[in-house]
A and B are shown apart, each in its own frame.
Chain A
Amino acid sequence: MATTRRRFLAGSSALALAAPALTGRALADDISFVSILDQSGGLDIYGKPMVDATRMAIDEINKAGGLNGSMVDLKIYDPQSTIQFYTQFATQAAAGDRANVVHAGITSASREAIRPTFSRFQTLYFYNTLYEGGVCDMNNFCTGSTPAQTVEKLVPYTMNKWGKKVYIIAADYNYGQITAQWVQKYVRDNGGEPVATEFFPLDVTNFGPTIKKIQQAKPDMVMSALVGGAHVSFYRQYAAAGMNKSIPIASTTFGVGNEHKLISAEEGDGMICAYSYFEEIDSPANTDFVARFKAFVGDGAPGLNELAARSYEGAMLWAEAVKAAGTADRMPVIEALRSGLSYAGPSGPVTIEPKTNHALQNVYLAELKDQSFNILETYESQPPTDTLLVCDLVADPKQSTFKFENGLEAAGIKL
């Protein structure tokens, strides 16, 4: 391997970044927990509740005496919905802060930007967002729900209720593209027809032409995987054209940014979604969690959703693993997590599945009414079968890839 200029520069800049870290840690025996989540920009509707929930988790851990006698030091970075800041803060967290664990990333685009950094610096990485599945990485725990857990339930349920012609609209980046393929697959598996699939850049606000196309195609239902603040306009414009009364919407993303509080009851009523957590789950653990969250954040506490609850549960899962391992060092914690570690959180038990480093989790299907979700169905302990199709970290632990990078063909799924 010849030393090229580029390689030399990459190596030396990593060294330069790493150097201050030798003296950088404030207290040598504190455990360093870094969170990188968008608190400003178009993705802040997701990021802010996630940060609140993370802060609450660390606060509770420390109030209970910390982990193995050490306090947990939480550092939060705001990448401002900009991928470039993600890579910058990821390097800072891994090399500068020498974090014991980093919980980071909302969009799949941001995850793929920072995941290689954490593998390279051997920094344990948690991604707590629902996503399209397919990450196969020993160093990365993906605790959010994936399409085989949620979309697989949502599509047959809504097709039975509304009909077999499905119009798919999705955000135009890897999450939307791959999730649209999952939706197409499940629609076909259930004898339906995906009549059209359309993708939208994250800053589109005028959905008029698409609404006309939906009227022209006359589907039985619309499946939305739209993302971010700008895309909320779709639901408003759809209702303004009177469409929500005739062609109902199901979604794989609506609500995790508290969109149901952002649009009015008349605009949102009747939408159906499936996630691993809803604030409305009726269980003592969740009632207590919601009350604690409201008390912790105070006035103006945001609504809770899968992303926020899983940020809390992800932090708690990690904490359980640190306790079990007796240290916050990376490999012992990874081994503890992969030993089938489980945490009973507000969403129910969340258990790490060792072949994929994903989670077995409960999934709930709910209908929106008056800006809150009524839970219709509960599916317990759902495995991440999508990622299991392509990933086996038990057989081959030295993996660090995103298997669905080029779509679902990697899983042998022909569309």
Chain B
Amino acid sequence: MDLVIALGLQILYGIANLALISLGLAIIFGMMRVINLAHGEFLMLGGYTVVVATNAGVNIWIAMLVLAPLVVGVIGVIVERLLIRWLYGRMVDTLLATWGLSLLFIGLVTTIFGASTATTISPPLGVIEIGQYSSSGYELFLILVTVALLLAVWATLKLTKLGLVARGTMQNAEMASALGVSTNQTYMITFGLGAAVSGLAGGLLAPITGVLPTIGAIYIAKAFITVISGGMAILAGTTSASILLGGVNGITAFLTGPTMGEVALLLVAIILLRLMPRGITGTWFRKSL
């Protein structure tokens, strides 16, 4: 019984982890159709923000929950103004441009902080004992934060004027523009928000995965697989794909080993996209966000 609870928590964490690393990409790719290959580097920059801030004596919670999204959000806005806004509607060009951007970020961070950062932050919160098993309290915290983050994004899109305008712009930019919406500004804000969510995720993951200039490469493939498997609806898509892929990965990894866990995740994604080329939300939950 203890094992079931401990393992259940572990699988939930795996799911939350996938959702967390994918959500920022879902906003940028799912809403704006910008293939952001620098997504992993947004996560990495969030992590470095936390490392630099905690070294400067900032409280770790403020660094993770406030500074990381703020800094990366601002970087996102700058990137959008300088680079992305010239490329809307040119999907392949955004792919190349953001790939270059990702190399630039890796190079910059390596130059400033070195290949391996000597700074360390340990996960806050203690250990949870479940009978003879123990889990990290921080993992439980991450599950809760992911749920809160999904709810916050849902509320922003569904309940605020900003969300309404953003959804309208993504659906039909010309019509929105004709109705007096500044689509230019909407794109900028949406991209900035996507970057901020990525920054938050990177900041939250920094204490358990460590921070390296090249850590983004580890996240990017999984984030894309999750978002594409999820399909058009960013929230329902990311959530359902994370549950499916994270669940399969967690269970297989426990039963066999991490290699088979990864294989199972990819296999499920391939089969899923063969059966539903437009992702889960291309077939189910079509009207959802």
Compute how far the CA of A208 lies from the CA of B128 in the bound complex, rounded to whole angstroms: 14
8 Å CB contact of B208 from A198, A213, A236: A236
Interface string of A255-285 (1 = CB under 8 A from B): 0011001111011000000000000000000
- By a CB distance below 8 angstroms, the chain B residues around A236 are 122-123, 207-210
- By a CB distance below 8 angstroms, the chain B residues around A109 are none
A140-148, A181-189, A226-234, A310-318: which lies at the B interface? A226-234
Q: Who on chain B is nearest to A48 by CB?
A: B115
- By a CB distance below 8 angstroms, the chain B residues around A14 are none
Interface string of B203-215 (1 = CB under 8 A from A): 0000111101111
- By a CB distance below 8 angstroms, the chain A residues around B258 are 198-201, 204, 207, 209-210
Tell me how far the C-beta of B230 lies from the nearest C-beta in chain A, rounded to whole angstroms: 19
The reply on B88 being an interface residue by CB < 8 A is no
Q: Who on chain B is nearest to A169 by CB?
A: B258
B28-36, B67-75, B181-189, B249-257: which lies at the A interface? B249-257
- By a CB distance below 8 angstroms, the chain B residues around A242 are 126-127, 134, 136
B: number of interface residues (CB 8 Å): 45
- By a CB distance below 8 angstroms, the chain A residues around B212 are 42, 44-45, 229, 232
- Which of B114, B117, B213: most chain A CB closer than 10 A? B114
The reply on B41 being an interface residue by CB < 8 A is no
The reply on A203 being an interface residue by CB < 8 A is yes
Interface string of B243-265 (1 = CB under 8 A from A): 00000001001100111011000
Q: Are the C-beta atoms of B136 and A209 separated by less than 8 Å?
A: no
Q: Who on chain A is nearest to B137 by CB?
A: A240
Compute how far the CA of A258 lies from the CA of B115 in the bound complex, rounded to whole angstroms: 11
The reply on A215 being an interface residue by CB < 8 A is yes
- By a CB distance below 8 angstroms, the chain B residues around A240 are 122-123, 127, 136, 138-139, 207-208
- By a CB distance below 8 angstroms, the chain B residues around A212 are 3, 6-7, 10, 133, 254
Q: Are the C-beta atoms of A44 and B115 separated by less than 8 Å?
A: yes
Compute how far the CA of A206 lies from the CA of B253 in the bound complex, rounded to whole angstroms: 10
Tell me how far the C-beta of A306 lies from the nearest C-beta in chain B, rounded to whole angstroms: 16
The reply on A13 being an interface residue by CB < 8 A is no
- By a CB distance below 8 angstroms, the chain A residues around B10 are 208-209, 212
8 Å CB contact of B257 from A47, A198, A205, A241: A198
Q: Are the C-beta atoms of A44 and B116 separated by less than 8 Å?
A: yes
Q: Are the C-beta atoms of B122 and A209 separated by less than 8 Å?
A: no
Number of A-B contacts (CB under 8 A): 139
Interface string of A165-188 (1 = CB under 8 A from B): 000000010000000000000000
- By a CB distance below 8 angstroms, the chain B residues around A39 are 115
Q: Are the C-beta atoms of B134 and A241 separated by less than 8 Å?
A: yes
- By a CB distance below 8 angstroms, the chain B residues around A300 are 114
The reply on B106 being an interface residue by CB < 8 A is yes
Q: Who on chain B is nearest to A259 by CB?
A: B116
Q: Who on chain B is nearest to A203 by CB?
A: B218
- By a CB distance below 8 angstroms, the chain B residues around A258 are 116, 118
The reply on B120 being an interface residue by CB < 8 A is yes
Tell me how far the C-beta of A56 lies from the nearest C-beta in chain B, rounded to whole angstroms: 17
A: number of interface residues (CB 8 Å): 47
- By a CB distance below 8 angstroms, the chain B residues around A206 are 13-14, 17, 253
Compute how far the CA of A48 lies from the CA of B117 in the bound complex, rounded to whole angstroms: 12
- Which of A40, A48, A212, A263: most chain B CB closer than 10 A? A212
- By a CB distance below 8 angstroms, the chain B residues around A382 are none
- By a CB distance below 8 angstroms, the chain A residues around B257 are 198-199
- By a CB distance below 8 angstroms, the chain B residues around A393 are none
Compute how far the CA of A257 lies from the CA of B214 in the bound complex, rounded to whole angstroms: 14
- By a CB distance below 8 angstroms, the chain B residues around A239 are 122
The reply on A41 being an interface residue by CB < 8 A is yes
> Which residues of B, 1-37, contact A by the 8 Å Cβ criterion?
3, 6-7, 10, 13-14, 17
Q: Are the C-beta atoms of A216 and B136 separated by less than 8 Å?
A: no
Q: Are the C-beta atoms of A243 and B214 separated by less than 8 Å?
A: no
Compute how far the CA of A230 lies from the CA of B258 in the bound complex, rounded to whole angstroms: 14
Q: Are the C-beta atoms of B6 and A205 separated by less than 8 Å?
A: no
Compute how far the CA of A258 lies from the CA of B119 in the bound complex, rounded to whole angstroms: 12
Compute how far the CA of A383 lies from the CA of B262 in the bound complex, rounded to whole angstroms: 40
Q: Are the C-beta atoms of B3 and A262 separated by less than 8 Å?
A: no
Tell me how far the C-beta of B20 lies from the nearest C-beta in chain A, rounded to whole angstroms: 12
- Which of A209, A212, A241, A242: most chain B CB closer than 10 A? A209
Compute how far the CA of A349 lies from the CA of B72 in the bound complex, rounded to whole angstroms: 50
Tell me how far the C-beta of B145 lies from the nearest C-beta in chain A, rounded to whole angstroms: 15
> Which residues of A, 25-67, contact B by the 8 Å Cβ criterion?
39-42, 44-45, 47-48
List of 5 A-B pairs having minimum Cβ-Cβ separation, nearest first:
A242-B127, A240-B136, A209-B253, A44-B115, A264-B120
Using A198-B258, A209-B261 as known contacts, list a sample of 6 further A-B pairs with CB atoms less than 8 Å apart, ordered by residue number in A.
Answer: A203-B218, A209-B7, A233-B208, A239-B122, A241-B136, A242-B134
